Each structure stands twice: as C-alpha cells, then as structure tokens.
Amino acid sequence: MQQLLDSTGPNEVDTRTLQPLRKTLEERIRAIKWVEAQRQSRHQTSDPPNIKLRNDVHMPDNDDEQLWTAFEDTPAHPLINHYDHIDEPSDEIRKQLKDVFGLSEFRANQLEAINATMEGKDVFLLMPTGGGKSLCFQLPAVCSNIKTQGVTVVVSPLTALMEDQVSALTSRGISAFYWSADSPQHEVNAKLWSGDRKPALLYLTPEKIKASPACRNLLLKLYNQGQLARFAIDEAHCISTWGQDFRSAYQGLGQLREDYPKVPIIALTATANQCTREDIVTQLKLRDHAFFTQSFNRPNLKYFIKAKKKKNMLPEIVEFIKKEHPNHTGVIYCLARKSCQLLAEQLQKEGLSKEEKNRLLESWKADKFHVMVATIAFGMGIDKADVRFVIHHDLPKSLSGYYQETGRAGRDGKLADCVLYYWFPDFKKICWMIDQDKEREEALTPEAKKRQKDAAREVVKYCTNISECRRVQVLRHFGQEFNQHNCKAGCDNCLDNRPPITEDVTVVATNAIDAVRSLSNKGQQITQRQLTEVLRGANSNMIQDHGFSTIEGYGTCKHISRELVDIALDRLILLEILAISLQKQKTTFSAEYLEIGSAARNFKAKGQCLQVNWRPPPVKSINKPATVEKQKGKRRGRNSRSNDDDPIEAFPDEVGPSNISVDVMDGLRQLRTPSKQGNGDE
C-alpha cells in the first residue's frame, strides 16, 4: 500500500472517487505502523493515531481484507462504490448527526447515500445487516437544506419494526408517526394537517398503501403541495419473488413512481444478489440511481454447520448454550411456528397475540431473558447489539435469508457464533411448504415456487459443501469474491483440517433410477429408506413383504455404507433426478414415495456421474453388513412418528445424516463426452 502511495503523488490520485481512498490508506498505514511499533517494543512508543481498531480484531499480517475491516467505522470503499459524487458533509448534516442522533462519524456509505438522496437522486443502498441503513433516510428527513422538502414516507414490512423506529425517533425529539391498521383517520389528519410543521417521517406498510384509498389520497395531497420529500423502501428485497421474504403488497410500490413521479426513492436492503437487485430496480422503476454497496463480510461472525441428527435438537442446543454462551443473548430460528412450539414452551399456545409478541420482544431486548425462539418473520429488523449467537434449528429458506438472520448476531462488532443444524428432511419440508403455499393470500406462480425451491436448494448445497470456506460461499452468493485465507479459521470448514474424501456414487444413482422406474412401471412405490435397503441388499421383513428382493438394482450397492447411500439419494432428490411424492395413508401417516425426477433422463443419457465429498463418521465402521441394518431398519420402522398434517413426521426422528458432512463436487460430472452418447433416449 505504502509503495502504491509513494509511486503516485497526491495530484496524480486526483479523481473525486480516489481521493478519500488515498486519505484512508494513509491513515491506516499510520495506524498499522503504530501497532507494529507497539508489538516490537512492547511499550508505547508514540501517541496512538486517531483511529480506533475494532474490538476483537487482531492486527492482521499481510491481509488486505482484514486490514480494511480491522478499523472501527470502516469508511466507504470507493472502488466498489458506484457513485462518484462524494462530498464532505454539509454543516447541517454534521450538526444533525451529532445533535439529533448523537453520533460522531458516518459509517461506510452512509454519507454518500445521504448526499445522493438529498440531491434528489434515486438511491439503492445495499448494506449488511446492522450497517446503519436507517440513518440514510432518517437524517435527510430532519435536514432543511435539501432539494425535496416535506415528509419522508418510509415503507416498512412490519408494524413492530415501525413502532420500534418511531419510538426511537420520538425519543430523540424527531416528529415521526406510523399509520397502522388501528390508527383512526382523524388522528392521522391531525398529525399531518394541524400546525405549521409537518412530521419529518411517516411510516406505512405496503399493504396500507395498496389497500387504503384514504392513504393514497393523503399522499397525493402532500405531493400536490410539494410536501413529499422522498420514499424510503426499507427491506426492499420483499418486492422480489426471487427472495424468500416476498410480499405481494410490495409489488404495488411500483405505482409510487407513476403516481408521484417527482419524488425520489431510496431503496434499502441487506439481502439482494444480482438478480434480486435488478428486480428491485425494475419494479420500483428507479431512474439513474446511485448504487452503494460494500463488503458483506462480517469478520466477527463465526459460521458452523452441524449435523441435525433428529427432529428436535433442543437438548444439544441447551448444552451448547450452557457451555459456550452462558448468560449470553441469542436467537434460535425455526422454520415454522410448529417448530417453535416444540422448542419453547412459552409459544405452545395457539399463537401469540400482537401484545404478547411485543412484550416478549421488549423483555428480550431488555435482557429479562436471554434466548428468543422465533420464526424468521419475528426477528426482522431486530436491533439488539449484543446478540452473541444465532442458531438455526431448521434449514433457512435461502442463503440471503440465512445471511440476514445470522447478521443479527454481533452487531456490536464482538465475536458471535452462527450455528446451523442441517439435515436433508428440512429441505423436503420447505419444498412441501412451498407447494402448500399456506402462508399467503395470493397463490405463488409456478415460476415463483420453482425459484423458492431453488433458493432452498442453494442452502443445502451450502450446508453440504465441506471443502470450501463458508464465508467464501455466502459472499459469493452476493457476488463478492473472498479470499479463504482471510476467514482466519472463522468457520467449521476452515477449522477442520481433515481433508474430505471424494467418493464416486454413480452406481447408487443409476441403480436407484432403475429401481424406481421398474417399480413404477409395475405400479409399485418405494420410499427413500426402503430404497436404501434395496440397494444395499438387505434381507429384512420389509423387503420380503414387498417382494423387493427381485427388483432391478437389488444388492448392487452392498459394498457402500448406508450413510453414503443415503447421502447419494438425498443428492439425487436435490438435483431433481429423483422426486418426492407425498401421499396420505389410510392411517394418519403421510408417506413420501420416490418418483423419477425431471433431470433423470439427462443424467443417464449423457452418462453423467455423481461424486460426493464426505467425512466418514470417526468411530462407527463404515461398511456394516446388511443383516445389522435389517435390525436397525425394523427398529426405525416402529419408532416412526407420524402426523397427517406434517409430512416431516413421515421421517423417523432417529434417522438423520449422522455426523457426516457431504460435499458434492458441483453435483454431477460428465465423464464421457456428449457426442459419444445417444441423443437423449435412454
């Protein structure tokens, strides 16, 4: 860095974009030299530079990424800032930052976004969770020296979030209010039209704008009076069906540009990859917008994937919390309320009323209790600085969601653990939930369903990829390259120095396809567990009762361990080579039967092969004879619990991926060249 600076005089780095970078680098070099001097002399050699290092971050060696983020209040990274108009803050901005918000410095990209929106530009701000997005529309809302005057209308997805922000603003003396379903019209009118000064901020849900003509009339009246300063679309990713948080009312927000064309829009989110980003820009009809983004790496978060061995992991989680995080604050995320009910007795009622939810959230924030068990919807926008762990008891629905949920940990910059319990049945459950589509008023289109399933599929690939640093994988999802070296053993994969073993399991794949196809030709069905037994040539009652010992593929995978066969079959489902069909039984059971999937034809026709990377279990012998499995199979069968409204119940608690991790070498590898293959006919 120093060499780079020495070789270019100050005048040579003369673009507006690069000047702040030069200044920052010079400051950092000063700070690094100072730290080095401390290290060598072990006593203070000079005054410390006027730069604070983050807590818990050791001064890294030769490590640019870490160097950049090792400082508190890391400034904007101008080289990845897609807006070149960077000014010093005006006196008014500085004053409001200090006097109203009690802050002394801007964080990365805040000033730039504030300046751009105050100039009347559309802005897209993509900032990690806890990065400080709110300030970027709250501060302009209290400034007078701007292009667009009046009320900043904030669109926010949750009433709890709006309440939170409004009460924080009010306590700072800022005039703000939200218009909820319960707010009477005359109160809203009184706030807006009585007195000379309009409130600085008005919070609305997208549903309110969509469904309430009174609300739209009010916005129009403000607009006609030149009193609509800007629209701030918080959690803007909810507009996109690419994301898991899609809210149909958000899609109505495209109308804002049509109805109020002169009003600038600032869209804010922490979770948008390239597709979602483009979708947001298109749907909100942003024009010539300033785009700000920055490194999404959260160096103080540690990422771990653990095997979920049974449906309820509470005992293990309790042990983990007692050992690693006694008296620490944390969140346990579950997929559905039902899972929460299993985990938290408090949530065992029919569901929580709004008041109860608020009371629980407030108590948790006030440290009256430490651990919150929640569905992802409950935690959106949580601003609690000292969350020391985030545990995913169930599979997150997407990598973006996972990043956002884990992002609620360690907002104070101190170390925090993010633990995800993975097992494949959770993926099937998510797919089932998407197909049921119970949670929405409007049905999802088939394309949206497919996208959501693909998003869950990405999470499975993430969990089962044991060869690549977790940080590399998550950040790649956001289009950011990350050097594994900079993870600094901050994830399970970087910590585990046992190399994964690569196994070719094509034989499982081809025989599984043959077995399922030949059964279906005969009008018979088979479950995944039964297929594992068939392939491994078990001689159990189940095999005899169904006459499975005569079907194609029987015993062809005798030499492969049960775990590995299970992993291979999971993978075939993930890759849509096999599919699942859920069927109600005469009893209360729902059973999952395997079918041929849409990708099976290609797999066989193109002679593809399937490889998995895994770490075999350390103690158990891998190749258990089928006779032992026979006993196990029987036991499992008896222990299966079931429930007709929850397909996951069709899976026995005891059957899981054990302590195996798997990695698929990008799923399939083509061994033979397509030209040597047939034309697609099997």
Number of residues counted as binding ligand ATP (CB under 6 A)? 16
How far apart CA 29 and CA 225 sit, in angstroms, is: 52
Residue 56 CB, nearest approach to ligand ATP (Å): 17
Q: 96-115: which residues touch ligand ATP (CB under 6 A)?
A: 103, 105-107, 110
Two tokens at 168?
């924080």
- Of the candidate spans 29-37, 123-131, 245-253, 538-546, the one that interacts with ligand ATP by CB under 6 A turns out to be 123-131
Q: Which residue of 113, 135, 141, 419 would you call a contact of ligand ATP, by CB under 6 A?
A: 135
Q: Which residue of 20, 75, 132, 206 would you call a contact of ligand ATP, by CB under 6 A?
A: 132
Q: Which is nearer to ligand ATP, 245 or 426 (CB)?
A: 245
Give the list of residues 6+ apart from residue 526 with CB closer than 8 angstroms, or none: 515, 516, 519, 534, 546, 548, 593, 594
Region of residue 103 (left: phi > 0; alpha: psi -120 to 50; beta: else):
beta
Residue 415 CB, nearest approach to ligand ATP (Å): 18
Best CA proximity match to 70, nearest among 104, 34, 31, 42: 31
Residue 106 CB, nearest approach to ligand ATP (Å): 5
Which helix or strand (DSSP H or E) is residue 94 part of?
helix 91-99
Q: Which residue of 31, 113, 127, 372 would you call a contact of ligand ATP, by CB under 6 A?
A: 127
Residue 84 CB, nearest approach to ligand ATP (Å): 22
63 contacts ligand ATP (rule: CB under 6 A) = no
Best CA proximity match to 129, nearest among 414, 412, 404: 404
Residue 62 CB, nearest approach to ligand ATP (Å): 29
133 contacts ligand ATP (rule: CB under 6 A) = yes
130 contacts ligand ATP (rule: CB under 6 A) = yes
Q: Which residue of 69, 96, 129, 608 would you call a contact of ligand ATP, by CB under 6 A?
A: 129
Q: Which residue of 131, 379, 597, 633 would you call a contact of ligand ATP, by CB under 6 A?
A: 131
Q: Which is nearer to ligand ATP, 63 or 105 (CB)?
A: 105
Q: Using the structure block, give the residue that is written with the tokens 């189940």.
A: 542
Q: Which is nearer to ligand ATP, 127 or 267 (CB)?
A: 127
Give the residue at shortest CB distance from ligand ATP.
Answer: 132
Helix axes 446-464, 424-436, angle to 10 degrees: 170
401 contacts ligand ATP (rule: CB under 6 A) = no
Compute and round to an integer the Cα radius of gyration of the chain.
28
Give the list of residues 6+ apart from residue 448 with CB closer than 8 angstroms, or none: 241, 246
How far apart CA 385 and CA 402 sit, in angstroms, is: 18
237 contacts ligand ATP (rule: CB under 6 A) = no
The answer to whether the beta carbons of residues 562 and 629 sit under 8 Å apart is: yes
Residue 379 CB, nearest approach to ligand ATP (Å): 9
Q: Using the structure block, give the residue that is written with the tokens 């390259």.
A: 481
Q: 370-399: which residues touch ligand ATP (CB under 6 A)?
A: 381, 383
- Of the candidate spans 122-130, 169-177, 255-263, 323-331, the one that interacts with ligand ATP by CB under 6 A turns out to be 122-130
Give the list of residues 6+ apart from residue 557 with CB closer than 8 angstroms, or none: 507, 508, 511, 535, 536, 537, 565
What string of H, E and C letters represents the secondary structure of 143-208? CCCCCCCCEEEEECCCHHHHHHHHHHHHHCCCCEEEECCCCCHHHHHHHHHCCCCCCCEEEECHHH
Residue 132 CB, nearest approach to ligand ATP (Å): 3
What string of H, E and C letters represents the secondary structure of 290-353? EEECCCCCCCCEEEEEEECCCCCCHHHHHHHHHHHCCCCEEEEEECCHHHHHHHCHHHCCCCCC
Best CA proximity match to 389, nearest among 411, 367, 361: 411
Residue 335 CB, nearest approach to ligand ATP (Å): 20
Over the window 266 to 305, marking each residue x when it contacts ligand ATP by CB under 6 A and - when it does not, the resulting string is ----x-----------------------------------
Residue 140 CB, nearest approach to ligand ATP (Å): 14
137 contacts ligand ATP (rule: CB under 6 A) = no
510 contacts ligand ATP (rule: CB under 6 A) = no
How far apart CA 348 and CA 338 sit, in angstroms, is: 9
In the chain, the amino acid numbered 661 is: S
461 contacts ligand ATP (rule: CB under 6 A) = no
Q: Which residue of 96, 117, 134, 241 would you call a contact of ligand ATP, by CB under 6 A?
A: 134
Q: How many residues does the chain have?
A: 682
Q: Which is nearer to ligand ATP, 267 or 434 (CB)?
A: 267
Q: Which is nearer to ligand ATP, 153 or 650 (CB)?
A: 153
64-73 long-range contacts (CB < 8 A, ≥24 apart) are 65/295, 65/297, 65/482, 65/483, 65/486, 66/299, 66/486, 66/488, 67/28, 67/32, 68/295, 69/295, 69/297, 69/299, 71/28, 71/31, 72/413, 73/105, 73/106, 73/107, 73/108
How far apart CA 48 and CA 38 sit, in angstroms, is: 10
Q: Which is nearer to ligand ATP, 271 or 464 (CB)?
A: 271
Q: Which is nearer to ligand ATP, 156 or 506 (CB)?
A: 156
Over the window 14 to 53, marking each residue x when it contacts ligand ATP by CB under 6 A and - when it does not, the resulting string is ----------------------------------------
Q: Which is nearer to ligand ATP, 97 or 434 (CB)?
A: 97
Residue 202 CB, nearest approach to ligand ATP (Å): 18
Which helix or strand (DSSP H or E) is residue 5 part of?
helix 2-7
Residue 666 CB, nearest approach to ligand ATP (Å): 31
Interacting residues toward ligand ATP by CB under 6 A: 103, 105-107, 110, 127, 129-135, 270, 381, 383
